[in-house]
Structure 1
Amino acid sequence: MEKKLKSETVFDGNVIHVTYDDIELEDGRKAKREVVHHRGGVCILAIEDGCILLVKQYRYPHGCDTLEIPAGKLEKGEDRNEACFREFEEETDRRAKTMHFILQLLPTPGYSSEVDYLYEAIDFKHVDDSKPADDDEFLKVIKVPLEQAYQMVLKGEIVDAKTQIAILYAYTKKKSL
């Protein structure tokens, strides 16, 4: 176990909070840790007509468009079991009756506290009165056949980790039926 001795805030933003921590290692030596604190997020696997719903969007840090499952950060104090419905509707114009929790994942455990929660949307339909996406998001929903999405993961064409996990989960589940 590592023990935190001192923590200094380096940055406090809208999405992340960064600290520089002095710690004690399990053998008694001292070390430093840079930690990005994040509220976490939800991500949603949705299969429609044999296709996985993906969202194409530009990702500024990487300077390119990505294909991702619908996802978003948790708002302060928001329950993840409610956030999954909100994010799914905002990003896809679809409303789910049920969300099935699949698993939690740690996208970058070496330096971030972020935990993402993967759900599967069950019994959903397109709605005209959906909640709008965030004003700084330009999203395009794309339906990709599950087999093709699986091949895209294997070829390195889908590089987002949460999306890779969701596709591999859905593909394996389908193959085991």
Structure 2
Amino acid sequence: MMKKFEEKTIHTEQIFNGKVVNLQVDEVRLPNGKTSKRELIKHPGAVAVIPITKDNKIVFVEQYRKPLEKSLIEIPAGKLEPGEKPEKTALRELEEETGYRSNQLDFVSSFYTSPGFADELMYIFITKEIEKVKDPLSPDEDEFVEIIELTLDEAIEYVQQQRIHDAKTNYAILYLEMLERM
């Protein structure tokens, strides 16, 4: 018996298996008995970190995003490696992208980034215990970033100007605004 709204997979065709994502097309049986096709991106999941300095600035990275053909200012983030715990990925990405290290992470939330076509689950953490590392982990060889530290008010201004323009970073800023009001 099918659950309400469930789409039962009849057939899966693998289209592409890549380093970051896999693409497949599923033929599905709809709740009304008809069939349809679904283009799906399979992703191992990701993490993002809201790093706060001792002087209460948020550490961001600016990096070029090829799908958008422009640079974005974002909180540090990265893809989960197979079998890796989100906390470990978060600490690694924080150090690789920013040169900061932390021994204290607090889980904020998780969410699906684009559930209409992808299964990517993003975990968000916050840390207020960061310190600059003398010899940080190296970033990925194809990753070029610049560090930007902003106050919460400056970050909100960047959101209004669409200089900060991605979901995870907007979510992080809303979360920090909410904490400030409490």
- TM-score w.r.t. structure 2 length? 0.93
**Among residues 18, 25, 33, which one is paired with 1:20 in the alignment?**
25
**After TM superposition, which residue ranges in structure 1, 4 or more long, deviate above 6 angstroms?**
none
CA RMSD in angstroms, aligned pairs only: 1.0
Counterparts of 1:79-158 in structure 2, within 5 Å, are 79-158=85-164
How far 1:72 moved relative to its partner? 0.4
**Structure 1 residues without counterparts, runs of 5 or longer:** none
Give the Cα–Cα distance (whole angstroms) in 1 for the partners of residues 46 and 164 of structure 2.
20
Matched-pair contact (CA < 8 Å) for 1:9–1:19: yes
Give the Cα–Cα distance (whole angstroms) in 1 for the partners of residues 156 and 164 of structure 2.
9
Which amino acid letter does the alignment assign opposite residue 138 of structure 2? P
1:65 counterpart = 2:68: no
How far 1:118 moved relative to its partner? 0.3
How far 1:143 moved relative to its partner? 0.3
Matched-pair contact (CA < 8 Å) for 2:52–2:129: no
Give the Cα–Cα distance (whole angstroms) in 2 for the partners of residues 162 and 4 of structure 1.
30
Larger % of strand: which? 1
Identity within the alignment, % = 36
Give the Cα–Cα distance (whole angstroms) in 2 for the partners of residues 154 and 109 of structure 1.
26
Which amino acid letter does the alignment assign opposite residue 51 of structure 2? A
How far 1:50 moved relative to its partner? 2.1
Q: Residue by residue, what CA displacement relative to the aligned partner does 1:26-77 show, whole Å, maximum 9, x if unpaired?
A: 1211111000000011000012122111101111111111100000001122
**Structure 2 residues without counterparts, runs of 5 or longer:** 1-5
- TM-score w.r.t. structure 1 length? 0.96
**Among residues 2, 11, 15, which one is paired with 1:10 in the alignment?**
15
Give the Cα–Cα distance (whole angstroms) in 2 for the partners of residues 41 and 24 of structure 1.
30
Matched-pair contact (CA < 8 Å) for 1:2–1:26: yes
Which SS does the other structure have where 1:15 is aligned? coil
Matched-pair contact (CA < 8 Å) for 1:23–1:30: yes
